[in-house]
């Protein structure tokens, strides 16, 4: 079974600074997808960024980028120029190919300090 | 973008009541929907996979007779918590995707409180 591990229960960053959230996963599949979701206090699940395993290029979405190391099974999220609105729970998630459910890590609570 | 609507957003009811939660894909057909549960300060855990026109597949430890799932159409799946008790109080959230397409799109979730 696939597993996702987030080793940082809590992180904090100064406004305008950069922070990196860690995620590792375990799978025997070769074709899969990785995601970072943001969950604010409203508990909505907001997709931040996605990465297809077959793509070597790291995904980027504005201030959010990932460092995808397939051999090491690592998928970290970098948030640049952190903003107060970035404060939330961040979940790393794995999905196999096809229409399969997401497997989530335990999450990292990010605080942004003004 | 794809939209998934979940209703109700918050429900409070007495112990022993049955509660139905609806999950609708508004602008696409979803052959598969997923139901997750999230307890306070925990992650999302898959409860079941709902397939249109067939029986749901439940995860180990999830009582299928307590959590009834119906996926009668390509745009609607329902989760009914039967004879709910306080320990069923949680945040329930559904997701859906087009066939073979990622990512999944989430509903806004339902906060269920059983008194």
User: Does residue B32 belong to the interface with chain A, where contact is any CB pair within 8 Å?
Assistant: yes
For A72-83, how does the pLDDT look when each residue is reduced to its tens digit (9 = 90+)?
999 999 999 999
Interface test with B, best of A7, A41, A45, A89 (most B CBs within 10 A): A45
| Whether residue B100 has pLDDT greater than 70 | no
Residue percentage of chain A with pLDDT more than 90: 93
Task: Report pLDDT digits (tens) over B28-85.
Answer: 888 889 999 999 999 999 999 998 888 899 999 999 999 999 988 889 999 999 999 9
Instruction: Please say if the pLDDT value at position B103 is more than 90.
Output: no
Q: Provide the pLDDT for residue B2.
A: 67
Cis peptide before B103 (omega within 30 of 0): yes
- Window 50-89 of B, Cβ < 8 Å to A: none
HEC profile of A13-66: EECCCCEEECCEEECCCCCEEEEEEEECCCCCCEEEEEEECCCCCCCEECCEEE
């Amino acid at each position: 079974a696939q597993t996702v591990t987030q080793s940082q229960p809590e992180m904090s960053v100064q406004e305008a600074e950069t922070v990196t959230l860690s995620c590792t996963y375990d799978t025997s599949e070769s074709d899969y997808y990785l995601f970072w979701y943001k969950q604010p206090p409203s508990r909505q699940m907001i997709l931040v960024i996605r990465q297809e395993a077959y793509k070597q290029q790291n995904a980027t979405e504005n201030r959010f980028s990932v460092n995808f190391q397939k051999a090491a099974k690592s998928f970290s999220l970098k948030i640049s120029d952190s903003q107060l609105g970035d404060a939330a729970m961040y979940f790393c998630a794995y999905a196999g190919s096809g229409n399969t459910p997401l497997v989530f890590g335990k999450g990292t609570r990010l605080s942004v300090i003004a | 973008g794809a939209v998934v609507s979940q209703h109700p957003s918050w429900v409070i009811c007495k112990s022993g009541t049955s509660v139905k939660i609806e999950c609708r894909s508004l602008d696409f057909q979803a052959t598969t929907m997923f139901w997750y549960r999230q307890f306070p300060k925990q992650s999302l855990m898959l409860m079941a996979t709902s397939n249109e026109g067939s029986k749901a597949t439940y995860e180990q430890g999830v009582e299928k007779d307590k959590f009834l799932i119906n996926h009668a159409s390509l745009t609607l799946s329902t989760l009914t918590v039967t004879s709910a008790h306080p320990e069923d109080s949680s945040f329930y959230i559904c997701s859906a995707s087009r066939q073979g397409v990622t990512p999944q799109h989430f509903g806004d979730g339902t906060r269920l409180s059983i008194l």
